[in-house]
Structure 1
Amino acid sequence: MTKIVMIIGAGASQEFGFPTGGDLMGQIGNLCKFDTRYNGIEAGDRAFFGLLKKASEKFDVRFDEVLAGARLISQNMHLAPSIDNFLHTHSESEELVIAGKLAIFTCLRRAEEGSSLFEEEATLGRPRVPEFATRTWLVELFKILASGRTSEQFLKDLSEIRFISFNYDRCIERFFTAAYESYFNNPGAAADLADNLNILHPYGVLEQYDFANINGDRRMYSGGFPVVALDAVDNIRTFTEGSEKINRGRLETQITDSSVVMFLGFGFHALNNRLLPGKKVSGEVLATSYGLSQSNKSEIEHELIANIYGGDPRYKKNIQFSDCKCSELISRYSRLLERILN
């Protein structure tokens, strides 16, 4: 049975140094800006330019059209609700979508490379949880799961949580790998963890996280970057592709059968909300609303009632917004989460 569902948005990964949706669009806008002559580059990110050229060869599309797509992305990021929305709008342009997906991959992979969450212990080659992470929602959740539990009990309770991440990054996978092996002093136990860590990425992921080969994953960052990036054209899905490929029944079952649904750093964009089930959930809904106006919170509340409470206004009392960051929401409801898991 699913006891807790956590629906994850960009605000949750921001606690680990990853860009929010707005910051990501700014980075993508700059990345896709080139000065070119005769399909050569005079100014801009040469590595990304080369990546686009390799992509045009692999996917048998015209390079000048890929560059034109990148240029259109760069010119319009300040107008777009999100990069995903922009790719959805231009989903009929294969060349633009390729450029956009590779831009997403490049920016987020560089964010991973620059994040201390993806560092390893120099002597042991094992992932580690840096001290800064103590101020993050995953540490708060880990403390709840680890309280009074053996490693076996920890895994059992972890298996009763479902993570639905609308992010392309792999913060959750990496954090639990490092934290579990470190806390329980059990190096090499990532395979057991993988069997009990339930994560659904509706829009795909940069690359499937390799729990069994941490060092292999690290080597990937320093070599073979273009090959991995080109695979991301298939791994990353737009709104259009996501709604077509996701198992809606699986998503609906996980949410409706849970005791509590938590939205962490979630933007509640209309296209994402369409993936939420149309049936009633059985428990409470807790959500961060950091930076949201009262008007927007009221509108989101109406959408949640329609989407996950069958439109029944009596369930309004089940929805609790908290104007706080993700780590604080987990801390505020720690006793509730402990009770549900016990």
Structure 2
Amino acid sequence: MIRTKTTLIVGAGASQEIHLPSSLEVLDRTAAAYDFYRFGGEQMTKDSSVLLRHLNKLAERPGNSLEKLYEATERLRISARMSKMIDSVIEQNDDNPLVTLTGKLALAHFICQGEARSNLRPAPKNPGELPLQAGDFWLLELGKLMTTGVPRSKVHQCFENLSIISFNYDRSIEHFLPYVLITAYGMTLPEAQRTVSEHLKIVHPYGTIGRLPWQKGEGADVEWGNENPWNMINLVHNIRTPGELARDNRATMEVRNAMLKSQRLVFTGFGYHPQNIDLLVDSTFSHNPEVLCGIHGLTGPAQTTVVRMMRRKLNLDKDDRLMVINAKCFDLFRDYGMMLES
């Protein structure tokens, strides 16, 4: 079990470990799918056909002519040449709400598709198993960390000292954790989902593609693994741009409160983009937490930059408060499990 107040900050690398697409991959596939002018009617890719069908539905709504939507997708496609992230392309064209709309539509489509094709399945093949395909996955290590030493009668303690800030649009953590409780404690699926819904403290600053059907809330929902949901147009509204987040004081404070209440911060699969660091930490941050930074995939200069940036932004006054680990998410949780439990 986790004995220290801990906030887990999860980035795209964590989702990539279960074979969900990276932001760059989503950007490239969006640009390719929206290249309508290159395709003849019978040469269109499957992604282009699906997105075109959704665009036709959007065009039925007041103010959304198909011509204007096409112009928006072309603006998005051209802008993609100057970025590595779909989020950045959407944000830099915030003067055109249809670019935002079509960008979110592509995001929702490719994340739904990614969930359906990932290593995390909708349900286990056999009772008593986990819905993970064979392999080494950080989610499994997180589940072990949360449940070890916690009796069934006090299952709420699995979540008591843990908060999660996920910068990903997928719902892999929420989908997986009920199966952890089923495996560890013999719960039924509805009981496990209810426990996770009531006790898991998780924030998605930029939203998700939607609630899982068993989660509380009012936004549109979609099952895990549904590649072509019927309500795709409504799912788009669950996604937030950085600009929209900046105008949502409640969401911003929810993120920063999770940081301020923690004695230990764990960054895993995180890209350390300055705008996300600024979101996580403001000028009031001064309580000197213990920080564990996973930096796998970053170049040498980028790793040096992360160390300097984290020391400065987090006001760390002692060298032993910052640990920088060049390890994948799975390796970080496996190798530092004893520390994370302490």
TM-score in terms of structure 2 length: 0.87
CA distance in 1, matches of 2:258, 2:24: 29
Q: List per-residue Cα deviations over 1:246-300 (Å, max 9, x = no partner).
A: 5333322221221210111111112212202221243211111112122212222
Q: List per-residue Cα deviations over 1:5-50 (Å, max 9, x = no partner).
A: 0011100011111012222222222222213799x88634212101
Aligned CA RMSD, in angstroms, stands at 2.8
CA distance in 1, matches of 2:227, 2:33: 20
Of 170-179 and 73-82, more deviation after overlay is shown by 73-82
What amino acid does structure 1 have at the position aligned with 2:274?
Answer: A
Q: 1:153 to 1:236 in 2, by over 3 A?
A: same
Stretches of 4+ moved more than 6 A in 1? Answer: none
Which residue does the alignment assign to 1:12?
14
CA distance in 1, matches of 2:320, 2:62: 51
Q: 1:180 to 1:233 in 2, by over 3 A?
A: same
- Is 1:244 matched up with 2:250? no
Q: Report % sequence identity.
A: 22
Secondary structure (helix, strand or coil) at the match of 2:207 reads: coil
Q: 1:58 to 1:179 in 2, by over 3 A?
A: farther
Q: 1:184 to 1:58 in 2, by over 3 A?
A: farther
Which residue does the alignment assign to 1:321?
324
Which residue does the alignment assign to 1:294?
300
Secondary structure (helix, strand or coil) at the match of 2:265 reads: strand
What amino acid does structure 1 have at the position aligned with 2:314?
Answer: I
Question: 1:2–1:160: 8 Å Cα contact kept in structure 2?
Answer: yes
Q: 1:170 to 1:295 in 2, by over 3 A?
A: same
Question: 1:166–1:202: 8 Å Cα contact kept in structure 2?
Answer: yes
Secondary structure (helix, strand or coil) at the match of 1:117 reads: coil
Question: 2:91–2:243: 8 Å Cα contact kept in structure 1?
Answer: yes
Secondary structure (helix, strand or coil) at the match of 1:320 reads: strand
CA distance in 2, matches of 1:330, 1:219: 24
Which residue does the alignment assign to 1:63?
66
What amino acid does structure 2 have at the position aligned with 1:168?
Answer: Y
Which residue does the alignment assign to 2:263?
259
Question: 2:10–2:270: 8 Å Cα contact kept in structure 1?
Answer: yes
Secondary structure (helix, strand or coil) at the match of 1:285 reads: strand
Q: 1:52 to 1:152 in 2, by over 3 A?
A: farther
Secondary structure (helix, strand or coil) at the match of 1:162 reads: strand
Number of equivalenced pairs: 329
CA distance in 1, matches of 2:107, 2:201: 24
Secondary structure (helix, strand or coil) at the match of 2:208 reads: coil
What amino acid does structure 2 have at the position aligned with 1:291?
Answer: G
- Is 1:283 matched up with 2:289? yes
What amino acid does structure 2 have at the position aligned with 1:80?
Answer: S
Q: 1:212 to 1:270 in 2, by over 3 A?
A: closer
Question: 1:51–1:226: 8 Å Cα contact kept in structure 2?
Answer: no
Q: List per-residue Cα deviations over 1:298-322 (Å, max 9, x = no partner).
A: 222232233222xx6x345422211
TM-score in terms of structure 1 length: 0.87
- Is 1:305 matched up with 2:311? yes
Q: 1:140 to 1:122 in 2, by over 3 A?
A: closer
Which residue does the alignment assign to 1:272?
276
Equivalent of 2:116, from 113, 122, 129?
A: 113
CA distance in 2, matches of 1:137, 1:219: 19
Of 258-267 and 115-124, more deviation after overlay is shown by 115-124
Of 163-172 and 236-245, more deviation after overlay is shown by 236-245
CA distance in 1, matches of 2:331, 2:12: 16
Q: Which runs of 5+ in 1 are unaligned?
A: none
Secondary structure (helix, strand or coil) at the match of 2:156 reads: helix
Question: Cα offset for 1:160?
Answer: 1.7
Q: Which runs of 5+ in 2 are unaligned?
A: none
Which residue does the alignment assign to 1:209?
212
Q: List per-residue Cα deviations over 1:174-205 (Å, max 9, x = no partner).
A: 11022222332211211122111111010111
Of 95-104 and 136-145, more deviation after overlay is shown by 136-145
CA distance in 1, matches of 2:121, 2:140: 15
Which residue does the alignment assign to 2:157?
156
Correspondences of 1:161-172 after superposition (within 5 Å): 161-172=162-173
Q: 1:294 to 1:317 in 2, by over 3 A?
A: farther
Of 44-53 and 160-169, more deviation after overlay is shown by 44-53
